[in-house]
Amino acid sequence: MAVVKPTYELGGQCRSYEVSAPVAGGQVVMADGTPNSGKVIPSTLTSLKVLGVAQDDADLLSNISATDATAKSNFTTVWDNVEIPVTYSFTAAWRDPLKAAANGQVALWVSGTDLSGSIIGHCAEKGGVTSGNVGLAKIRVVA
């Protein structure tokens, strides 16, 4: 998705992280699973290690060349507590709770099936979003 622009809200937070796998702007990212690495990767389904949403594309340092115009950094800015465009892997209605999905997407959180701690936000698109499309999500990761 390249660069995505969050809607800033009081308390919105951003932080820069190095990536350990290619990340695209607009993907939900999580800790990469290597203890104390401080690096991020696109989220997996129902991850409990979500940090927020990547603002820009980033790639592994080994994949970046001086002539590469598509990925200029091995760091991405990650936003939390903001409304930001993301890709939905399932259809969601306005204000439906969301969880992390595979490939850095979001999915509908299901009561009675999913852990309450896996909620990372809610659908902020007033008309809802259908599966496979991009729409606003209010991402608020509870630390």
The mean of the pLDDT values for the chain is 90
Q: How many CB atoms are closer than 10 A to CB 2? A: 10
Q: Which domain holds residue 113?
A: 13-139
User: In total, how many domains does the chain have?
Assistant: 1
Residue listed under structure tokens 């007033």: 126
Specify the CATH number for the domain of residue 124. 2.40.300.10
Question: Does residue 2 form part of some domain?
Answer: no
Q: What pLDDT shows up at residue 142?
A: 67
Q: Is residue 98 situated within a structural domain? A: yes
How far apart are the C-alpha atoms of 12 and 116, rounded to whole Å? Answer: 22
Question: Does residue 125 fall inside a structural domain?
Answer: yes
Tens digit of pLDDT for each residue in 7-39?
666 678 889 999 999 999 999 999 998 988 999
Alpha helices in 47-121 (DSSP H): none
> For residue 1, is it within any domain?
no
On whether residue 50 sits in a domain, the answer given is yes
The answer as to whether 3 is a domain residue is no
